[in-house]
Amino acid sequence: MVNGDGAHERTEAADPKQDASSETDGGEDSNEQEVIVIQDTGFTVKIQAPGTEPFDLQVSPQEMVQEIHQVLMDREDTCHRTCFSLQLDGNVLDNFAELKSIEGLQEGSLLKVVEEPYTVREARIHVRHIRDLLKSLDPSDAYNGVDCNSLSFLSIFTDGDLGDSGKRKKKGNELEQIDCTPPEHILPGSKDRPLVPLQPQNKDWKPMQCLKVLTMSGWNPPPGNRKMHGDLMYLCMVTVEERHVSVTASTRGFYLNQSTTYNFNPKPSNPSFLSHSLVELLSQISPAFKKNFTAMQKKRVQRHPFERIATPFQVYSWTAPQLDHAMDCVRAEDAYTSRLGYEEHIPGQTRDWNEELQTTRELPRKNLPERLLRERAIFKVHSDFAAAATRGAMAVIDGNVMAINPGEETRMQMFIWNNIFFSLGFDVRDHYRELGGDAAAHAAPTNDLNGVRAYGAVDVEGLYTLGTVVVDYRGYRVTAQSIIPGILEREQEQSVIYGSIDFGKTVVTHSKYLELLEKTSRQLKVHRHNVLNEKNEAVELCSSVECKGIIGNDGRHYILDLLRTFPPDLNFLPVDGEELSPESQRQGFPRQHRHRLACLRQELIEAFVEHRYLLFMKMAALQLMQQKANRDAKAGVPAITETAEAPSGSNADTVPTQTSESPSAAAASADSTGRTESSAPAATQEKSSPKPAVNGVLEPAATVNGECKSPLEGKELEESIPGLARAKELAETLVAEDGSCIDPKSREVVLNACKAVGSISNTSFDIRFNPDIFSPGVRFPDDSADDIQKQKQLLKDAAAFLVSCQIPSLVKDCLDHSALPMDGATLTEALRQRGINIRYLGTVLKFVDKTPAKVQLEHFYRIGISELITRCAKHIFKTYLQGVELSALSAAVSHFLNCFLSSFPDAVAHLPPDELVSRRKSRKRRNRVPGGGDNTAWASLTPNELWKNIASEAKSYYHFTLQCESVDQVVEKYGFQKTTLLREISVKTGIQILMKEYNFDSRHKPAFTEEDILNIFPVVKHVNPKASDAFHFFQSGQAKVQQGFLKEGCELINEALNLFNNVYGAMHVEICACLRLLARLNYIMGDHAEALSNQQKAVLMSERVLGIEHPNTIQEYMHLALYCFANGQLSTALKLLYRARYLMLLVSGEDHPEMALLDSNIGLVLHGVMEYDLSLRFLENALAVNTKYHGSRSLKVALSHHLVARVYESKAEFRSALQHEKEGYTIYKNQMGEAHEKTKESSEFLKYLTQQAVSLQRTMNEIYKNGSNASITPLKFTAPSMASVLEQLNIINGIIFIPLSQKDLENLKAEVQRRQQLQELGKSEDPAEDRPLELEDRIPID
């Protein structure tokens, strides 16, 4: 919910604190809120640390003292200190104080760093910090997926940082020393898809050894008499010079003692080198340590900060090299003393997650600074909770947590760890028996999570949800939830005061809950309704019956079990005696599904309501025209009235085929065409705005919903009925905010329109769903029978809308390339954005198969089939893994992958060797750990059987028929690559495999051995809290940019970036989108260096947060290459493009529309560095791909022909050049007409080529005739200028520079304003407010 009517509709008052200057930003912000820009008037302080020169540090008044601590612990010369205080004039500063609250702290103040005495906790933190510094260049944490580390490889391709801190780049066109030949496997047409280049070896990672061993000593903890001498703990070390030393950590610092491995002697050795820091101590006793540590810290600070900042959520890598396992005392200690004690920096207690999650929600949110603080706290607690829940879930499945009901069988067990409650996704005590047993129990947690997400986004004060994380690990689904205070002491029956604990047999309600839920009902489109309880009394609810309300001991109102927040999906819920609408039936619905919990997605509900709203406006408009026509002339009324009334029948929405005669009926039925830019009245004001388009921000925003025009449907509605637009404006004035209409006639109009679209109110548009319809066991009172009938119809219409509008609109978006899925994840995202559940994947693929333009959707079809196959394999793998004991895990996983991908026909599983299987199998302890049986059934799986299972799973789950007996058949039939399938299955199931080349096609030995399976990671689903204010700024910025106000857009987006950083910290997907747009704007406005710097951050962030081979990362690499080229860094640009092409080949193969863009880029850069033959290979491939996906008459193809022609011209092969340019010319002429400048340019170039060809021919004839003494006129061979190459690069990447005179600018602005005012007609506003402010006239208000 972005423009929720709650929090953001108020106009903000300027914050009383002096540092927030308020600035109103015209009425163009989406919800007219005034905007406060926090102005960080930063200042500089001097910092003096022991033994170093004082240095200056820029700080801002909002920072806490603690943040200065963090900076010092990261700086090269002070990084070895952890236990110190900051003092101003001899007074110690409080760590948690904001700088502005400290008296006497001002510009130029001197802060002293003062060493403090150690405690055990401080000593441990120090050792941990030193360990982190020693490991700072070591990627093993990123490969192992711990502590929010993740991989990034950009610096390998750019040779360090592109900015100032890295090695300076050589400028200028030094074409001689650029090596442009790409590796073989990147060239067009190469079939080889190696895995190893995915993670190139970084030379910085070769660890410089500073210390051989650093461990806790066996003499810990110190005995009482030594404690009284200040000993805190003992450490053992082995230096690089092989010197074994024993160190005491005491309150005064670290010194050498005289203990040995078997002999305790805590006396200081001589000399003892007492130092406050372990680094200083080691530098004195080990010269190698001193040298290497210094070198390592230099390297560490040279790395881009984005390479080492922790990400908010853990990202796992599906491949890793063979890593050496080194001794590490901190890691060892963490593993055995559950880190709860001090990891969370709250001494002596585990965190009360529920309290933290709920308190952050209660923080004030009246103005911008408060909201930022609140959102930041919510986000931080959420990411900590997700990390803790994931660790706990793994501990539960690995059998390391004691159950709270240990007597029951494994599937029934529940666990509590670190104040989080864990349950397994099985049907316990036949709870879900009616709904589909285990399948329902597996689906319920994700449905519940979607409910938590939806209620969390509405964010109503006083209504609380549980922290919820769903973890899939080793074949089990674990739900982790925060614990409601007091719930464990009571029986559930006593606690639930709202809702039902037995799916509606007994139901209770509560006035406070009704009041709270009523506030959410409008945004979530939930209808308030009555159900009958066991005594046949009507009970009023404002949610589904299973949604339970419990008041915790803390007095808060919690709701839980939100699995039916959204209405059921009737396409997958056959109900006796109910007919679905014809569209659904035509597609073979309703279909039987595994469980009865299939719900519509929130995105679909939003799209459906918006669609209905347009229908509503048109109905009203038509009737108004009708009345007007009646007044004007008494003739021809009957025909029109009949048709205008027609749609109020049951299937108003289902777009009938155009058979009706009269235009107005056609209009009512073609309601879906043309999305009107109506400024919707109250009803849709609080609809969330669609998510931002993910790829390419400058393209005009893709309409997310409402465009359900089937590609075949004819004219725009607006054209077919004259005067309709006028009538629409009338209709809008009618539907006043409060629904009180002007005169009875108009009231009737609204009433009819409301009836037609199924609105629950008769005076205004308001569509809501009753989530309990078709729930087994729920009964409704007799007096609401009509209402229930209406609701049933609405559900059928929504199900039909998904099939008849959303699926075709998705396919249409793929045809015109506004949606470009590249792999399974981006395909899934494209479906979900349009509200299509993944269970419709088979239906979508069948639709694509029947589309006339099937060839242009081949990439989509291929990705869809591969997604379907890997999802079926994932379902099978899940149950397969549940039967595997821990010791056989790697053998079992490698066996499964062999059956799935290897051509080796009889894959045999390797059982664990006999000596490991204990002789006396104790039968008693069986079944203690989930999957703890001595089960070897998994070993009997064969490739043949697995593929049969995949085909039957595809049939039963997706209702899609796969013809496949083996992996090779599938690869052959659908044009897959096995590496792509391997990536998809590994990412979906959390498998991590060894980085090496696999021979999938050998018929003599299997591709995988158990040594190739390195790890199995959890797959985690959780809520992503949003930064709402930042998001508004971002959207307003995007809107400004699309209207052509680049400067203002740039300002807004910079502001959004600040706010995002404020809420999310430095790393987040949304910050990545922000940086990409900023870089693009910098580039368009001519600031190439700034563009490069921002885009470099975007690439690093995308690698770290989304993954090194995520489609988004590939696109970021392409943008970065363009800006590198513009900055004259040609070899870097090529390296980046080659990297992008390698990743693209791995992820989706060569046959993809995006590949044409990539290859055009590569071809152009190669042309620029005069590698003509190579350039042609890429450009001709781009031409082929463009022709396939855009049709041979497309302008893209014309441009491709032109690019190829230019290269042939540079090679002086004029005949080929002419041939290509003629093709391009023909396309331009047919598409744009003779007079268009593109056509003219092309014909000029043709003339020039013809001249060149003629003069070449003359010269040749001359040579033939006169032999060696011919007089040869030298030919003009043109090496392309960098400027011309850059111009073409800009064109293909969709970047257009419009050279405008001042007058043009004024005209453009006037035009934009006029359009805006037309849109604004619904709201009467002072037009001056709408004038986009020029940057110069804006006056900052202090």
pLDDT, one tens digit per residue, over 1281-1307 is 888 888 889 888 888 665 545 555 566
What are 822-861's pLDDT values in tens digits?
A: 999 999 999 999 999 999 999 999 999 999 989 999 999 9
Res 178 pLDDT > 80: no
Q: How confident is the model at residue 1219, as a pLDDT?
A: 94
Q: What is the pTM of this model?
A: 0.84
Q: How confident is the model at residue 37, as a pLDDT?
A: 47
Helix runs in 768-885, H state only: 785-801, 807-815, 824-833, 841-850, 858-882
Res 574 pLDDT > 70: yes
Burial zone of 1336 (CB within 10 Å; 0-12 exposed, 13-18 middle, 19+ buried) = exposed
Q: How confident is the model at residue 660, as a pLDDT?
A: 33
Instruction: Spell out the residues 6+ positions from residue 1070 whose beta carbon is closer than 8 angstroms to its own.
Output: 1027, 1030, 1031, 1034, 1060, 1064
What are 756-787's pLDDT values in tens digits?
A: 888 888 888 899 999 999 988 899 999 888 89
d(CA 1119, CA 1117): 6
Helix runs in 1169-1281, H state only: 1172-1190, 1195-1210, 1214-1232, 1237-1266
414-428: string of b/e by CB count within 10 Å (b at 16+)?
ebbbbbbbbbbbbbb
1333 — pLDDT class (breaks 50, 70, 90): very low
573 — pLDDT class (breaks 50, 70, 90): very high
Res 996 pLDDT > 80: yes
Contacts 24+ apart (CB under 8 A), 51-56: 52/77, 52/78, 54/110
Decide which of 208 and 391 is more confident.
391
Residue 130 carries which DSSP code?
A: H
d(CA 660, CA 652): 14
What are 147-166's pLDDT values in tens digits?
A: 889 999 998 888 776 764 33
Pair 995, 319: CB distance under 8 Å? yes
DSSP per residue over 412-442, as a string?
G-EEEETTEEEEESS-GGGTTGGGTHHHHHH
Sign of the Cα torsion 704, 706, 710, 715 reads negative
d(CA 610, CA 1319): 17
Res 12 pLDDT > 60: no
Share of the chain above pLDDT 90, in %: 54
Decide which of 473 and 326 is more confident.
473
Report residue 478: phi and psi, to 5°.
Answer: -115, 135
Res 714 pLDDT > 90: no
Q: How confident is the model at residue 530, as a pLDDT?
A: 93
For tokens 């006083």, name the residue: 462
Q: How confident is the model at residue 340, as a pLDDT?
A: 41
d(CA 1121, CA 1098): 13
What are 435-449's pLDDT values in tens digits?
A: 889 999 999 999 999
Pair 540, 528: CB distance under 8 Å? yes
Pair 340, 352: CB distance under 8 Å? no
96 — pLDDT class (breaks 50, 70, 90): confident
Pair 236, 246: CB distance under 8 Å? yes
Res 739 pLDDT > 90: no
Burial zone of 253 (CB within 10 Å; 0-12 exposed, 13-18 middle, 19+ buried) = buried
Res 673 pLDDT > 60: no
Sign of the Cα torsion 674, 679, 683, 688 reads positive
**Distances in Å between the alpha carbon of 733 and those of 676, 736, 821?**
16, 6, 42
The distance of Cα 758 from the centroid of its chain, to the nearest Å, equals 35
Nearest Cα to Cα of residue 69 among 51, 85, 88, 46: 85
Q: What is the mean pLDDT of residues 662-672?
A: 36
Nearest Cα to Cα of residue 1289 among 1208, 1229, 1199, 1220: 1199
Q: How confident is the model at residue 452, as a pLDDT?
A: 96
Residue 648 carries which DSSP code?
A: G
Mean pLDDT of the chain: 82
Res 1340 pLDDT > 70: no
Burial zone of 344 (CB within 10 Å; 0-12 exposed, 13-18 middle, 19+ buried) = middle
Q: How confident is the model at residue 716, as a pLDDT?
A: 39
DSSP H or E stretch at residue 480? strand 476-482
Res 905 pLDDT > 90: no
Q: What is the mean pLDDT of residues 419-446?
A: 90
985 in the Ramachandran plot: left (φ > 0), alpha (ψ -120 to 50) or beta? alpha
d(CA 306, CA 89): 36
**Number of other CB atoms surrounding residue 411 within 10 Å:** 16
Report the interhelical angle of 602-632 vs 785-801 (nearest 10°): 100
Least confident of 171-185, 590-604, 932-946, 995-1009: 171-185
Sign of the Cα torsion 1183, 1189, 1191, 1195 reads negative
Decide which of 911 and 985 is more confident.
985
